[in-house]
Amino acid sequence: MAHAVMSAIPREKAGVGAGINGALAECGNGLGAAVLGAVLNSRFTALIPVAASSLPAALASAGSDEERGRITDAFSSGLETSQSVGAVAVLLGGLLAAALLRRAERADSAMAVSA
């Protein structure tokens, strides 16, 4: 997909396009990891039966095997929620990219017809 986008950029602007593409990829990677981590932590801390902010701290403060089980279930739920949020974000990003590429193709074909 990146090749198709880069091929739409004039050859003299390829360096600028590659730079913007790389910068946006790095920003998306960092922001994505931070947001998904925040979702996981928020869900996890809301569900654990003890006062702790991390899985190791929660497991260390657990008093019984039942509590440890609820803590691991809470972590699993947080992980599942964060991955679902990530999947929805990827799906929406793909749909947006497809819509923008179609719009750009229609504009290019309209310019070719009028020329």
pTM attached to this predicted model? 0.71
Residue type at 5 in one-letter notation:
V
Tokens of 71: 């803590």
- Give first-to-last CA distance, the chain, whole Å: 28
Residues comprising the chain, all counted: 115
What SS3 class is residue 26?
A: helix
User: For the chain, what percent of residues have pLDDT higher than 70?
Assistant: 90
pLDDT tens for 1-41 read 455 556 667 788 888 888 888 998 899 899 999 999 999 99
Residue type at 77 in one-letter notation:
S
Tokens of 1: 């997909």
Average pLDDT over the chain reads 86
Q: Backbone phi, then psi, for 29, in 5-degree steps?
A: -65, -50
